[in-house]
Amino acid sequence: ARARYTNRRPASAALHQKALEVLPGGNTRSVLSYGPFPTAMERGEDCRVWDLDGQEYLDLCGEYTAGLFGHSEPRIHDALHAVLRRGTNLAAVGAGEERLARLLCGRFPSLQQVRFTNSGTEANLMALTVARAFTGRGTTLVFRGGYHGGVLTFPLTGSSMATLPLPFVLADYNDSEDAAAVARAHAGDLAAIIVEPMQGSGGCIPATPEFLASLRALADETGALLIFDEVMTSRMSAGGMQARLGITPELTTLGKYIAGGMSFGAFGGRADIMALLAEKLPHAGTFNNNVLSMAAGGVAMGEIFTADVAEALYQRGEKLRGRLNAVGTAAGLPLCFTGIGSMMTVHFRQPAPRRGYAATPGEEALRELFFLDMLEAGIYLARRGMVALSLPVGEAEMDRFVDTVTEFAESRRPLLL
């Protein structure tokens, strides 16, 4: 399968060779670094993309959730063209940021005020900084397998976090007792508890509602601020997972699709906490209010991704995941998809994992094979086996994916058993 991959992609291979000279590893984005070389894309249209060698794929990667609107949503394109005509670097506040801020505060229950950044990583760094400044404490409780950005990646095993910018203590995800024990041991210095309502990069592992409720109680008990990292999960309803669960954190971070596919991050929450930013906590950033993101975000959240559209997408994803899981069950194979709504990740084990795990070499090999077989069938998803549905993905595309996974289960049965 690997030889076939290489033979079909001479243009991607050649680009990788050149890129190695000027980009470490030939890349500027870790998630797109995989052997023997990544497939380079040239263009996209609705839910389809074409690689440098002209091959077409159904795009189920959905830009790791940032590509919610597909590649050619006309209302977003119109908004961007209008901005380009007016100029992109005005060095001033504008109406776009007020509009987008108001839209977000109107949707997410925890958001009374919000600030914009250029990425989810920055949003999390700022939210943690705010929590430290507000509480006058230093430490943050995080969870094994959690991902909050390029410099905020947390190990599944052990506790070495020497590379991290701030002091963290680790507990097991979906383990309320462990979280409570670690939090209480550091209660006097605990500024924040930061958690993904579903670990996205960690394998689309949902938190149980009980676990998140226990973190809410733990934050109240210790005086730490609860931060929901909804960079990926905010798509699960108009008001994100927090609205779905009825659990309100002090602070929330956002990113990905919210600016209609432009660079984006945001952090926000209770007004008395966010007030720090108006007083003594600096938060600068040349592109924080860049007009492309602000304008596209206003249209994306104000006109396209309405509450009804969000709910319909969630239901489509639930149905698709059910069908995919039926494939593994019917075949009696260790093949399952975890996730919530329109996000899901394949796992080659049964029962479905409840927290992150170190994949065995066998599982790693199957993950690669799955990725390569899907590409061969013209389906593009994340190398780690994650799918994020975009709005243009319809019934026919989902049928095609289910059929392709069924074929995979049949043709690779001996390897899966």
Beta bridge partners, 192, equal: 140, 225
CA dihedral 352, 30, 197, 260 (to 10 degrees): -120
Min dist CB 262 to ligand PMP, Å, is 11
147/348 with CB nearer ligand PMP: 147
55/234 with CB nearer ligand PMP: 234
Min dist CB 229 to ligand PMP, Å, is 5
Quick one: angle between helices 209-222 and 176-185, nearest 10?
20
Q: Is 229 labeled as catalytic in the residue annotation?
A: yes
**In the window 25-84, what residues touch ligand PMP (CB under 6 A)?**
64
* Two structure tokens written together for 61: 């990667």
Q: Work out whether the CA dihedral 381, 386, 388, 392 comes out positive or negative.
A: positive
Please tell me which residue in 64, 229, 314, 380 is annotated as part of the active site. 229
Of the candidates 121, 174, 234, 293, which one interacts with ligand PMP according to CB under 6 A?
121
Inter-residue contact 251 to 131 (CB < 8 Å)? yes
Query: How many residues at the interface with ligand PMP, by CB under 6 A?
Result: 16
Q: Is 373 labeled as catalytic in the residue annotation?
A: no
Please tell me which residue in 256, 314, 373, 380 is annotated as part of the active site. 256
Classify 269 in phi/psi space as left (phi over 0), alpha (psi -120 to 50) or beta: left
Q: Is 64 labeled as catalytic in the residue annotation?
A: no
**In the window 210-269, what residues touch ligand PMP (CB under 6 A)?**
229, 231-232, 255, 265
Min dist CB 121 to ligand PMP, Å, is 3
Min dist CB 68 to ligand PMP, Å, is 14
Q: How far is CA 275 from CA 14, 113, 133, 296, 357, in A?
A: 51, 9, 11, 27, 40
Min dist CB 155 to ligand PMP, Å, is 16
- DSSP letters, 94-154, are -HHHHHHHHHHHHHSTT-SEEEEESSHHHHHHHHHHHHHHHHS--EEEEETT-B-STT-B-
Q: Rounded CA gap, 192 and 132, in Å?
A: 7
**200 is an interface residue for ligand PMP by CB under 6 A:** yes
Please tell me which residue in 5, 64, 147, 380 is annotated as part of the active site. 147
User: Which of these segments, 46-54, 195-203, 293-301, 382-390, binds ligand PMP (CB under 6 A)?
Assistant: 195-203
Residue nearest to ligand PMP (CB): 120
Of the candidates 148, 186, 367, 383, which one interacts with ligand PMP according to CB under 6 A?
148
Instruction: Look up residue 299 and give its amino acid.
Output: V
Min dist CB 385 to ligand PMP, Å, is 15
Q: What are phi and psi of 54, to 5 degrees?
A: 85, 5
**149 is an interface residue for ligand PMP by CB under 6 A:** yes
Helix locations, 136-208, DSSP H: 176-185
12/121 with CB nearer ligand PMP: 121
340/409 with CB nearer ligand PMP: 340
**124 is an interface residue for ligand PMP by CB under 6 A:** yes
Min dist CB 151 to ligand PMP, Å, is 9
Q: What are phi and psi of 344, to 5 degrees?
A: -155, 155
User: Which of these segments, 69-77, 144-152, 295-303, 400-408, binds ligand PMP (CB under 6 A)?
Assistant: 144-152
Quick one: angle between helices 395-411 and 361-376, nearest 10?
130
Of the candidates 55, 110, 135, 201, which one interacts with ligand PMP according to CB under 6 A?
201
Q: Work out whether the CA dihedral 123, 96, 48, 405 comes out positive or negative.
A: positive
Instruction: Look up residue 284 and give its amino acid.
Output: A
**328 is an interface residue for ligand PMP by CB under 6 A:** no
* Two structure tokens written together for 231: 């960079």
Inter-residue contact 247 to 216 (CB < 8 Å)? yes
258/374 with CB nearer ligand PMP: 258
Give me the residue label for tokens 């690997």. Answer: 2
55/242 with CB nearer ligand PMP: 242
Q: How far is CA 87 from CA 83, 259, 323, in A?
A: 6, 18, 47
Of the candidates 5, 147, 211, 267, which one interacts with ligand PMP according to CB under 6 A?
147
| Catalytic residue ranges | 147, 229, 256
Q: Which residues bind ligand PMP (CB under 6 A)?
A: 64, 119-121, 124, 147-149, 196, 200-201, 229, 231-232, 255, 265
